[in-house]
């Protein structure tokens, strides 16, 4: 047996016919005997190409409403029979089983059917049985058989037929077999996840076929790849290739901006907001967001929830940043923003995303529901004698949105719906608060009358003591410490207000 094999016979059974005509014409040119059934057979006959019905080979018609067409020993024997095994060859001869060298399959569109909102009965009918069996059988016997498991491999097969005259190497066949098991495993994962939508069965299955190699990972010495359909969420209008770190920042940015309905601009660096403001107009929102920390803004990414105008773009263009994300841009804005050739300009599309976070660690995977809870005014419990004013409540909710999306331990100081200081990723809450105050003072913000948000409870009263020294007048926190009373008592003694949300927002 030689590693190179010539395709002499083919079985074709596909759902999508796009691009199949050129494949069939090449097979016909090479004199390949073609077997097929159902709609695929009719399609091939419509091309004027001779085709043998599977029913003529098996002696059985398509039965049970098309559920059983190719499941027959004369089909699977022709695929699984080993060409170098004399016993196999003898049995194939005895039972008049022809060798089948090429299988072309395109499965029923199960995931598309689920996504369309079809009925359960229609979804079940789109679970492919014959096709998936053909794929696995041909892939198992890749030493002898070529398996084309989806239309995504048509171009490679066409190249082999046209430029190699139907001759395949072992390397070619192994490539197709690898693709086949990717298709079959992904298909089964999609079916499992549909059946397990209520998560009664404790197993994790995730399959993603779309991938994009990145320049490198988090650092230049690390390889990196993005698996997913980025283009479903964004349209890139300009700029260089998106990096691993860009993707982390983009994810953090879109999660953060989703909390805001008012006109808002945010500046992020290393997944955390370093500037954010909500205003009546976009230009003011940008100026106030940048003022929060103009130093950290250098080289960061910026995001807004409103269309960017030329006037706003002119101001944004004054600083260096890597990525801008918005729901749209006017022509003047694009002309200005495209002046930097590497600047990444993204349009965020309205699209649904997963409600779960997954993270690999140790020898497994962590899965959790995303933190989609955000407290409103009705969720706030005033625990001090003093009640926060309406303006303070608005700032407390504003600050709480930001601290939710900041790396723990985190403290956010805000005033007039502007982020004026934050302490993030600290090992103690006191250190996070001190960092936030230092930041605010460094950019000459007046913290008198500002509010403070904490992602978790205060274990001691020391944080509110430090906050009061800075002039902070109102505090929002989850509550839940055995020593909550110490913090509340201090606030009461110093004319501060405090509200509990009852919800912790750790982010690690």
52-53 and 146-148: which strand pairing? Answer: unpaired
- Catalytic positions, written as ranges: 140, 270
Torsion sign (Cα): 50, 54, 57, 60 = negative
5-6 and 225-227: which strand pairing? Answer: unpaired
| Residue 383 near residue 431 (C-beta atoms within 8 A) | no
419-423 and 167-168: which strand pairing? Answer: unpaired
Q: From 412, 361, 424, 393, select the one nearest 501 (Cα to Cα).
A: 393
All residues at 6 or more sequence positions from 460 whose CB lies less than 8 Å from its CB, including other chains: 483, 486, 487
Q: From 459, 409, 415, select the one nearest 434 (Cα to Cα).
A: 409
What is the maximum alpha-carbon separation in the chain?
Answer: 98
Torsion sign (Cα): 131, 133, 139, 142 = negative
Q: From 190, 76, 207, select the one nearest 136 (Cα to Cα).
A: 76
Bond prior to 413 in cis (omega within 30° of 0): no
String of DSSP letters for 137-158? HHHHTTTT-EEE-SGGGHHHHH
3-class secondary-structure state, position 214: coil
| Residue 292 near residue 414 (C-beta atoms within 8 A) | no
Torsion sign (Cα): 34, 39, 44, 45 = positive
Torsion sign (Cα): 240, 241, 247, 250 = positive
Q: Buried (b) or exposed (e) across 191-205, using 16+ Cβ within 10 A?
A: bebbeeeeeeeeeee
| Residue 277 near residue 289 (C-beta atoms within 8 A) | yes
Residues facing 235 on adjacent strands: 347
CA 208 to chain centre: 9
Long-range contacts, 72-77 (Cβ 8 Å, 24+): 73/97, 74/98, 75/11, 75/100, 75/134, 76/133, 76/137
Output phi, psi for 356, to 5 deg.
-130, 150
Half-sphere exposure of 363 (CA within 13 A, CB side): 0
Question: Checking phi first, is residue 299 left (phi over 0); if not, alpha (psi -120 to 50) or beta?
Answer: left
| Residue 454 near residue 403 (C-beta atoms within 8 A) | yes
């Amino acid at each position: 047996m030689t590693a190179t094999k010539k395709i002499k016979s083919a079985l074709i059974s596909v759902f999508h016919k796009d691009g199949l005509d050129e494949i069939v014409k090449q097979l016909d040119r090479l004199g390949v005997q073609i077997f097929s059934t159902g709609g695929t057979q009719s399609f091939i006959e419509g091309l004027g190409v001779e085709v043998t019905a599977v029913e003529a080979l098996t002696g059985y018609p398509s039965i049970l409403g098309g559920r059983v067409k190719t499941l027959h020993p004369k089909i699977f024997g022709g695929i699984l029979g080993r060409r170098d095994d004399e016993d196999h060859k003898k049995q194939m001869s005895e039972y008049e089983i022809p060798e089948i060298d090429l299988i072309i399959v395109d499965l029923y569109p199960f995931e598309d059917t689920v996504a369309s909102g079809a009925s359960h009965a229609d979804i079940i009918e789109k679970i492919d049985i014959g096709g998936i069996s053909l794929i696995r059988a041909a892939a198992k016997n890749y030493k002898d058989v070529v398996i084309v498991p989806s239309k995504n491999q048509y171009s490679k097969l066409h190249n082999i037929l046209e430029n190699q005259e139907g001759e395949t190497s072992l390397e070619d066949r192994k490539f197709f077999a690898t693709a086949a098991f990717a298709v079959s495993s992904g298909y089964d994962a999609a079916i499992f996840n549909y059946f397990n939508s209520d998560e009664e069965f404790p197993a994790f299955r995730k399959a993603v076929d779309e991938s994009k190699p990145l320049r490198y990972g988090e650092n230049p010495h690390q390889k990196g790849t993005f698996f997913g359909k980025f283009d479903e969420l964004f349209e890139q209008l300009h700029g260089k290739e998106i990096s691993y770190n860009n993707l982390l920042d983009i994810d953090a940015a879109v999660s953060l901006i989703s909390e805001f309905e008012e006109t808002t601009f945010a500046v992020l660096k290393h997944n955390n907001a370093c500037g954010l403001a909500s205003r009546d107009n976009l230009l003011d929102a940008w100026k106030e967001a940048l003022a929060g920390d103009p130093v950290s803004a250098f080289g960061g990414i910026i995001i807004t929830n409103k269309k960017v105008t030329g006037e706003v773009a002119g101001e944004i263009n004054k600083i260096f940043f890597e990525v801008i994300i918005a729901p749209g841009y006017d022509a003047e804005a694009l002309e200005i923003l495209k002046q930097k050739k590497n600047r990444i300009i993204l349009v965020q599309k309205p699209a649904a995303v997963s409600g779960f976070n997954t993270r690999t660690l140790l020898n497994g995977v962590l899965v959790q529901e995303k933190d989609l809870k955000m407290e409103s005014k009705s969720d706030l419990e005033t625990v001090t004698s003093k009640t926060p004013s309406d303006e303070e409540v608005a700032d407390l909710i504003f600050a709480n949105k930001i601290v939710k999306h900041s790396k723990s331990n985190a403290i956010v100081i805000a005033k007039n719906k502007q982020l004026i200081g934050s302490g993030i990723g600290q090992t103690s809450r006191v250190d996070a608060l001190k960092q936030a105050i230092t930041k605010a003072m460094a950019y000459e913000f007046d913290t008198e009358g500002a509010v403070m948000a904490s992602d978790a409870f205060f274990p001691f009263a020391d944080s509110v003591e430090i906050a009061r020294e800075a002039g902070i007048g109102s505090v929002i926190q989850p509550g839940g410490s055995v020593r909550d009373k110490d913090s509340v008592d201090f606030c009461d003694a110093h004319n501060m207000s405090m509200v509990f949300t009852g919800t912790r927002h750790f982010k690690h």
